[in-house]
Chains A and B, each alone.
Chain A
Amino acid sequence: DAGITQSPRHKVTETGTPVTLRCHQTENHRYMYWYRQDPGHGLRLIHYSYGVKDTDKGEVSDGYSVSRSKTEDFLLTLESATSSQTSVYFCAIRAGTGSYNEQFFGPGTRLTVL
């Protein structure tokens, strides 16, 4: 257990509304990630962070922004939610700074955009 929590765990929202998902970790890991999971696609990286205020885009970043003002919190924001953003969102931390280090995942947030 890497001490990762996500909130909310479930959310239903309407098209065009802003949505913020929160990832919180308790173990001071430097690297944090946001993935989305869709059937037939596995998990795909949205954004990642390599330190406070240091973030970068992943492969499916359009329509998403992130912020990291504290080591323990990594926020994912959908500025104006669309139905194509209905998905399950997972936060992860990397246990160490090398790419060979495994990632540990939070429990996920199921987001439905109507």
Chain B
Amino acid sequence: AQSVTQPDIHITVSEGASLELRCNYSYGATPYLFWYVQSPGQGLQLLLKYFSGDTLVQGIKGFEAEFKRSQSSFNLRKPSVHWSDAAEYFCAVGADNQGGKLIFGQGTELSVKP
């Protein structure tokens, strides 16, 4: 069965420090992978996606993610975190069945210390 795991429920980093959020997926075919961010009380905003080609993808707000097929991972990174990055982050895989639904991980809540 298709699934996405985000092992870290909550992460705290200091402003200016680097960030890596982990995402592991289970999917039989070539995955379509997405990272979304959700600020409190808001909807989800797409940060970046991977579906083919270069395994290092760049997104908005200075984020990047690397697809590693051998590790079934799609980790999100940012070299220097800003206080405004505090939010919840969701990794998702796009399924070819059920109308191309997204299968989401449980989410990682990011707190940023001044």
Contact = CB atoms under 8 A, between A and B. Distances in A.
Instruction: Please tell me the size bucket of the interface on B.
Output: 20 to 34
A105 B43 contact: yes
Nearest to B96: A99
Contacts of A22: none
B99 A102 contact: no
Interface of B: 4, 32, 34, 36, 42-46, 49, 51-52, 90, 92, 94-96, 98-102, 104-107
Contacts of A43: 44, 90, 92, 102, 104
Contacts, number: 66
Instruction: Please tell me the size bucket of the interface on A.
Output: 20 to 34
A59 B1 CA distance: 12
Contact of A42 (B32, B100, B107): B107
Contacts of A74: none
Given A31-B100, A100-B94, 15 more contacts: A33-B102, A42-B90, A42-B105, A43-B102, A49-B99, A56-B99, A99-B94, A99-B95, A99-B100, A100-B32, A101-B100, A103-B102, A105-B36, A105-B44, A108-B43
